[in-house]
Each structure stands twice: as structure tokens, then as C-alpha cells.
Amino acid sequence: MTAQPDRPFTVRDASIAVALGLGCALGAAWLHQGWLLGDAAALLEKLRPLRGPHELGSHALYLPLGRLLGSVAQLEAYHALAALGWLSAGVIAASVFSSARLLGVGARAGSAAALLAVASPGIAFHTTVIEVHALHAAHVAAGLTLILAVDSRRPRAVLATASLVAGTLILTHRSGVLCAAPLTLLAWGRAGAAKPRAAGLRSLILSATAVGGGALLGVALDQALHVIFGGPDWFQARELLAREQTGPSLALVLKEAVLPFGVLLPLGLVGSLWPRRSTVTSAWLLVGILVHPAAVVLFGVPTRGGYVSPAIVFAAIAAARALDGLRGRVVVLVLLLLAAQGWLGLRAIDTVEARTKRRAAEQRLELARALLPDGGLMVTADLGYQLVTGRLPGIREFNLGHELGRAIAAGTSPSDFDAAATAPLIDLIRDSDKRVVWVRDWAADPAIRTAVAPYMVPIEEALRREFGGRDVNADGVDAVVLRP
């Protein structure tokens, strides 16, 4: 196998990378969707818990980084986690460009590939909502750049860097274990693939040992952190994953393993097989493109393209090679590709669901302002999970929705649920030194409201007995002021 020679990274390259990163971060902030997807409500609750200690969540670095960013930049919880997504868009763009340049690709092709990556449906969606996948994709992109930046004449440094990247990837998302295969080939290409056969084989074994060892240490560290600080460990995470599995289907393959790439899947496959380039580079790029979609098809977990976001990074770097091979003769084609990718990315963001939930989120913010003009606590059972927590200074929300949803799904009786939920709720309200309101906006769907009422009415009655209460109406929503 032939290896890719080192290419110096110039000040001009660094300037372009920074400009791309800043532009894409600002673009993601401008396009931020403003509603909570899936686990976002739970992430906000864990970031600023109303009761109990801080948890790590499922992925060890995500919430601590959000906490750090919020503390340094003085941001509310919602805006801190949203900003992680925006910064991730910038890191992805800068890193894809930098990796392409380090592989010898021209600046124009590298810039186009960076923009294609950030505009892809999978990356565009996850960098404009609160989710863990954008940060993980940024981590993968930065890790690839870091390994490529190490001088290949220092094989030990290459292997140490690859081992570090493989281990830390586990901490931003546990699916980072899937990157071990392409990282092994990348480390081998940098540290010894061009050596004679025997020495090259030894180098491959060393690369696999370094990357595999780093990944195993990352898994062990992640497990230890979750045991110490709380949150689902690897065994519990496997159970949660099993619950979400839908099984493979053609619809899932298209939605989760093909469409999130946009135009990058065919471009990336062409670029990874480009005959004039290093064959070992082709190998790690091709494996990086394919391993995540294969896992999605195998496990059948819908994430709106989240699980293939690292593969989009590999595809973008490979696409840069394909575009560079075309040189300057087809500028119009490149512009058309960028326009098509931008349109696909905007379509992924601007959906009927997004518009509906964004309106619901805005209505709940107005409700919170009306009920708690001087701050305080909203107690709700919002099954739409559009929390106000972390969005308005001084206003927090305790949402019974997650616990209620699990109780209904498990067939828990209203009496058992109320017995478990009421006492901790009373303690929480007693500890509040500001106004507390019980809000009856359980769900927009009348059928869901009817199903929820048997669980909620007894809790409201218990709260009235404990605190009294004054009925109010704000923006057409009934509520009970419990304190003061």
C-alpha cells in the first residue's frame, strides 16, 4: 500500500479554516430551530437538576462541556447546549478543510467539502437542535485532523495520538467505538504502511493495538465515570438501545443511512476510491464512510441521521479528493452541488414538525412569562416536552411528563404513580422561595389529556390540600398558584 506524504499546513490554510469555522458556527446559530427534540428536555433537566446531584447523562463529556460553556459565557442551560451545536458546526467545517489540506487537496476543493459537510441534512439538523450527535461529529472531525497533523516521521507520536483520539471519542458518544477500524487504518497509513511487507505488517499490528487499547481504556473510563457520578452505564445503555430498536427496513436504511449524507455519499465513495491518491487513505476513508451506516442498519435505531454524522465527516474529506481531481474545469458543477446540498439541509431543518413544535415552545415561553413575571417554578406534565427550563432567567420547570410517560407505558396505576410522585413534589415546592404554579397544559391532543387526567387530578388535589391554591388563567391555560 502507498501512504500519503506529509503536506505543510500554512498560515493561509489556518486563516481559511478559521473563517470557515466562524461562518458555519454563525450560520448554525442563525438557523437554530428553537424546539426540543427527543432527549433534549431530559438533557436540560440533568444539566440544571431541581433535585438530586448532577448526572453525566449517557455520554460522559456532553453535559460537563455544556456546564463549562454556560459558566464561562454566562449562558442559561438551554443556550449553553444550543451553543455546543453551533460551535460543533464550526469545528466540523474547519476540521474537514484542514484534513483535506493535510491530505494534499487544494484549498477550493477543501472549502467546498467543508461547506457540503455542514450543509448535509444530518449535520445541519443536529447542529441546530440540542443533541449529542453534533458534538460527537465535531470530535471525530477534530480527531482526524489532529492525527493527520502529526509528523509521519514520528510513528510513536502518531500511534499515541490515534490512541488518545480513539479513547476520548467514547466520551462524547459511545458509538465512538465504531471509529476504531478507520482510525487503525489511518494510524497505520501515517506510521508505517509504506514500509516493506514484514515491517508494514508489524506496523499494522501496532496500530491496531494502540487504537484498540485506547478505545478499551475509553470504555473503561466511561464506565467508571458513570458508576461514580451516575447515569446509564454500558449495561443500562444496551437495554435502552434495545428498547429503541425498530429493526432493519428499507425505509430506515434510506432515512437513517443514505439521506442524511445528501450529495456527499456518492461523492465520498468516489473520492475514497480515487485512483491517483494513496490507497491506504482510500481504505480508512471508505471504512469510515461505511461502518456507521452498517451499524444503523444492523441495530435499526432511528436518530434522524445522528448515528451516521461521523460517517458524513469521512465522506466530506473523501469528497474533497474527488472535487480536487476535477480541478477548475467544473466550477458550475461544484456550485450546483453546494446549492443542492444547501437545499437538502434546509429541508431537513424546516419541517412541519419543527414549525409546529417551535410554535408550541414559543407559546409555553409566553405562558411562563405571564404566570411567573418575577421568576419561580412551573410544575407541569407536558407530554410535548417543550420545557422552559434554562430558557428564561429565574424560571424553572419541573416536568412530570417523562415519569408519567414511562408509567403509562408500563401500565402503572394512577394510585401507584401518585403515591410515588406526590411526596417528592411537595418537598420540592416547599423548598422554593419564589412563586410556584401548577399548570394544566398536559397535551394538545384531547385524547391524551383524557388519558393523563386520572394521574394528574389526584396530584393536584393533594397539592391543594397542602398549599391551598388560587386558580388563574393565562393565555387560555388554566393554572393554580400554589406559592406564595
For the record, the C-alpha cell of 428 comes out as 420540592
Question: pLDDT tens across 4-55, in order?
Answer: 556 678 899 999 999 999 999 999 999 999 999 878 888 888 887 766 666 7
Query: What SS3 class is residue 317?
Result: helix
Query: What SS3 class is residue 156?
Result: helix
Buried/exposed 434-453: b ≥16 CB within 10 Å, e otherwise = ebbbbbbbbbeeeeebeebe
Q: Report pLDDT for 446.
A: 77
- Residue 106 CB neighbours (<10 A): 16
| Structural contact between residues 45 and 118, judged by C-beta atoms closer than 8 angstroms | no
Residue that is written with C-alpha cell 414549525 in the block: 355
| Structural contact between residues 385 and 405, judged by C-beta atoms closer than 8 angstroms | no
| Structural contact between residues 365 and 392, judged by C-beta atoms closer than 8 angstroms | yes
- Quote the pTM value: 0.92
Burial of 294 (0-12, 13-18, 19+ CB in 10 A): middle
Q: Report pLDDT for 193.
A: 53
- Per the rule left: phi > 0, alpha: psi between -120 and 50, beta: everything else, 350 is beta
- Residue 176 CB neighbours (<10 A): 26
For the record, the C-alpha cell of 127 comes out as 447542529
Buried/exposed 353-375: b ≥16 CB within 10 Å, e otherwise = ebeebbebbebbbebbeebbeee
Which residues touch 50 (CB under 8 Å, ≥6 apart)?
Answer: 377, 396, 398, 428
Q: Report pLDDT for 222.
A: 92
The tally of CA atoms less than 13 A away on the side-chain side of residue 288 is 32
Cα(3)–Cα(281) distance, integer angstroms:
7
Which residues touch 182 (CB under 8 Å, ≥6 apart)?
Answer: 284, 285, 287, 288, 291, 314
Q: Report pLDDT for 414.
A: 87
The tally of CA atoms less than 13 A away on the side-chain side of residue 7 is 17
Q: Report pLDDT for 239.
A: 64
As beta bridge partners, residue 72 has none
Question: pLDDT tens across 212-231, in order?
Answer: 999 999 999 999 998 888 77
Which helix (H) or strand (E) covers residue 262, if one does? none
Cα(181)–Cα(272) distance, integer angstroms:
15
Percent helix, strand and coil across the chain, each rounded to 5? 70, 5, 25
Successive 10-residue mean pLDDT values, the chain, 484 residues: 64 97 98 90 80 75 94 93 98 98 93 98 97 97 97 91 97 95 94 61 91 96 88 67 70 91 96 76 95 88 90 97 76 90 96 90 90 91 84 89 82 87 89 89 75 86 89 86 85
Largest distance between two CA atoms of the chain: 83
Q: Report pLDDT for 451.
A: 82
Question: pLDDT tens across 372-421, in order?
Answer: 999 999 998 888 888 888 898 889 888 888 788 888 888 888 888 888 88
The residue type found at 482 is L
Burial of 255 (0-12, 13-18, 19+ CB in 10 A): middle
For the record, the C-alpha cell of 178 comes out as 465504531
Cα(417)–Cα(411) distance, integer angstroms:
10
